Amino acid sequence: MTSELGLLDSFNVLKDFPIVKTTIIEKKIDLMNINYPCYIKVDSYIHKKQNGGVFFCDDKSSGENAFDKIKTNFPENKIVYQEVVNGLQIIIGIKKDNVFNKVIMFGEGGSNLDEKNIVFRTINMNRTEISKMFKDLKIGREISLYRHKEKLISLVEMVSYFARYNNIEEMDLNPVILSDKGPLIVDARIKNG
């Protein structure tokens, strides 16, 4: 039986992974106790930005506006707050392939996903192979200069290990922000087989 996990359920499954600070906003009054700027988004399996489920908020007024829009458009879903994290946006994912079984996807991420800047590899990679994979991308130079490159390699290893030992059909960690504190997962979707 297939199940699709949204943001919070995916984060719960990935609790040992580096995840950006994420808090559930239950009522509008909760918006008084958060730091701005921030993101307010719907907890869902859908692509949030494409479906009007994510908002950048620079003050309480824009936070309340975002809260109202999400409540109207997604009345059954939870709403979450995330702090703003700056850095290069990448995607790390798992896809099930008919020939190679599970493959790892890595490349430039964010809402403007550039399919020409993504590579696929088998999930059984070692640290050296992961580092070589980075060089096959347009953003390879930026990654090679990233001060927390070893943490990024460890994160790719974790994703690979997780995919090998769990019944995952598809997983998208997008974006993962290469922040000054290390890579942080901002959004996640998991489809179990």
Contacts of residue 109, Cβ cutoff 8 Å, sequence gap at least 6: 89, 90, 91, 92, 174, 175, 176
Among residues 83, 102, 124, the one where a domain terminates is 83
The pLDDT, as a whole number, for residue 192 is: 87
- Of all residues in the chain, the percent with pLDDT exceeding 90 is 79
Judge contact between 119 and 106, C-beta under 8 A: yes
Judge contact between 17 and 171, C-beta under 8 A: no
With respect to residue 13, please indicate whether it lies within any of the assigned structural domains. Answer: no
Tens digit of each residue's pLDDT (9 = 90 or more) over 3-26: 899 999 999 999 999 999 999 999
> The domain containing residue 43 runs over which residues?
21-83
Answer whether residue 98 shows pLDDT above 90: no
Residues 47 and 30 in one domain: yes
What is the C-alpha to C-alpha distance for residues 147 and 133, in angstroms, rounded to an integer? 17
Residues 57 and 107 in one domain: no
Closest CA to 18 of 193, 165, 180: 180
Whats the size of the chain, residue-wise?
Answer: 193
Overall pTM surpassing 0.85 (yes/no): yes
Burial (0-12, 13-18, 19+ Cβ within 10 Å), 12: exposed
Answer whether residue 52 shows pLDDT above 90: no
Among residues 59, 83, 107, the one where a domain terminates is 83
Residues 49 and 98 in one domain: no
With respect to residue 180, please indicate whether it lies within any of the assigned structural domains. Answer: yes
What CATH number should be reported for the domain holding residue 158? 3.30.470.20
